[in-house]
Chains A and B, each alone.
Chain A
Amino acid sequence: MKLRLWPYLFSQAVINIMNNRLVHLIGLGTMVISLLIFGIFLLLFVNLSAWIEGWGSSLTISVYLEDGIGDHARNSVASFIKRLPDAELKRFVSKEKALSDLRNTLGPQAGLLEGLSRNPLPASFEVLFKEVGGKDSDPRKIKEQLEKFKGVDEVQYSEEWVNRFKDLMKIVRLVGLIIGGLLFMGVLFIVTNTIKLTIYSRKDEIEILKLVGATDWFVKIPYMLEGIIQGIFSGVLALLTLFLAYFFISKEKAYFFSFALLDFSFLPYEYSLAIFLLSVFLGLVGSLIAVDRFFDI
């Protein structure tokens, strides 16, 4: 293709878009909606994965202490916990605090506790482990070590939850891959077919260009450029809409969701870039596939 033809081909692409505004708007709308659905899925998937990972990889161990434990014994348990890798001594819950927490939890039924002659709840340490599963943070081993301390009555953690965490993540990723894959195929199908329809409405133009001696690429390039331009606009609009929706929801989430305290973050940079590039790719490939159908002239 001669270099001096490129400005002409590019101007043709822009003129074609302007001359077929309505058709392009329909195509643009379809692409934006399709990409938006895919983007919403990605946004939910990324956040869901992060939440589950956050919950699963952190483990709280409760170290229940015997009644009447001395300060010395209590301090030695606390300093052992502080030395553990990835451990954070979240708080010490005294017997009184434990009872008052229980009273708050029971609410109107708190009167049941009035009949108690003594406080039956033990004092405890709450220990938070991040990145559980490593060699140095095996919950079973830590439990055994803590139980050997004088004054420690019992150590509790949800072993089942830890063991199932990785299986759960595997399932989430697999389901995400399947749904994401299906959505991707759907977007590809819808976008290429919409572009096909927009080009179908201009098949006479392709025929005439071929009849006056235009080479295949002379005809194809303006359509490909149109596809790329449409892809760029669709990608930007879809991401912008997605970001605005995210911004609105994350600002107002306290009113919408009970899990308001959870972190709800936007798509990472690479995912946004991937959606944008996907949009450009779809515009280009969709145009190319569609225009090829009308070349038997």
Chain B
Amino acid sequence: MIQLFRLSKSFGPSTALSDLTMRVHKGEFVFVSGPSGAGKTTLLRLIFGSEKPTSGHILINGINLSRINRSKLDLLRRSVGFVFQDFKLLPAKTVFENVALALQVIGYRRTFVRKRTHQCLKLVGLAEKEKAFPLQLSGGEQQRVAIARAIVKNPLILLADEPTGNLDPDLTEDIMVLFKTINMKGATVIIATHSRELLKGGAQRTISLIRGRIVGER
């Protein structure tokens, strides 16, 4: 379970999130929506532990992120997959190597890494391009590599920041089916998006943010 208590985050004089309290249950599928600058990305980064809150607390399965040391945070991150808006792929590594990296850092055996990476690349439709380098791919393809890297380790929590921003409608649907499948297997999924199309179809819980505050929930 993810719990946020009176969470605030400021960058200098500007406030990104203000007094946020919310709870996401284990196995839930949640959209965080809002216009650009609403604080969606900051919220995901705080949950991921790559930003520290200015005030308030974040608890992941009862562990307070403000009170754990860096090595414990590293271990916690192994159970969290993150699809970054800017993909964060290593340009000098191939598609296969980028995805495999998430398993290698955990120390899985080489045969397992190879098998699981192939599986994931197949799932996102990039099996043919595993030897390509990120800069040789289109924006949509790079996004799918980032998604494959996030799901390859079967995360307990999947955070995705605008994961379909560069995808066409057909691929968007495929990727959403993929996220839902991961969710069905028990993972908690939180997707930040400003896409109304994405929010239209689903009956999932949606939290709306504007200027760092929760303004609605359905």
> Which residues of A approach B to under 8 Å, CB–CB?
2, 4-5, 8, 19, 204-205, 207-216, 218, 295, 297
Contact = CB atoms under 8 A, between A and B. Distances in A.
A213 B90 CA distance: 15
Nearest to B106: A213
B107 A2 contact: yes
Contact of B105 (A205, A218, A295, A297): A218
Contacts of B104: 8
A205 B91 CA distance: 9
B50 A211 contact: yes
Contacts of A205: 90, 92
B77 A212 contact: yes
B48 to A, nearest CB: 8
17 contacts: A4-B107, A208-B89, A208-B101, A211-B48, A211-B88, A212-B77, A212-B102, A212-B105, A213-B75, A213-B77, A213-B80, A213-B102, A213-B105, A214-B74, A214-B105, A216-B74, A295-B70
A2 B106 CA distance: 10
Contacts of B50: 211, 297
Nearest to B99: A212
Given A205-B90, A207-B88, A297-B50, A212 B107 contact: no
The interface size bin for chain B is 20 to 34
Given A209-B101, A211-B88, A216 B107 contact: no
Contacts of A2: 107
Contacts of B80: 213
Nearest to A295: B70
Given A19-B92, A205-B90, A209-B101, 13 more contacts: A4-B107, A4-B109, A205-B92, A208-B89, A211-B77, A212-B77, A213-B80, A215-B71, A215-B74, A216-B70, A216-B71, A295-B70, A297-B50
Contacts of A19: 92
Contact of A211 (B75, B82, B109): B82
A157 B171 CA distance: 100
Contact of A212 (B75, B92, B101, B109): B101
A100 to B, nearest CB: 79
B78 A213 contact: yes
Contacts of A210: 74
A208 B149 CA distance: 11
A208 B105 CA distance: 11
B74 A213 contact: yes
A93 to B, nearest CB: 78
Interface in B88-133: 88-90, 92, 101-102, 104-107, 109
Given A8-B104, A218-B105, A297-B50, A212 B149 contact: yes
A175 B106 CA distance: 54
A149 to B, nearest CB: 85
A211 B71 CA distance: 12
B101 to A, nearest CB: 6
Contacts of B88: 204, 207-208, 211
A207 B149 CA distance: 15
Contacts of A207: 88
A218 B106 CA distance: 9
A19 B194 CA distance: 38
Interface string B59-97: 000000000001100110110101010001110100000
A165 B84 CA distance: 72
A218 B108 CA distance: 13
Nearest to A212: B102
B102 to A, nearest CB: 5
Most chain A C-beta atoms within 10 Å of own C-beta, residue among B50, B89, B107? B107
Contacts of A5: 107
Nearest to B48: A211
B142 to A, nearest CB: 13
Most chain B C-beta atoms within 10 Å of own C-beta, residue among A19, A207, A213, A216? A213
A46 B107 CA distance: 51
A5 B77 CA distance: 19
Nearest to B152: A212
Contacts of B107: 2, 4-5
A57 to B, nearest CB: 60
A213 B48 CA distance: 11
Contacts of B109: 4
B82 A215 contact: no
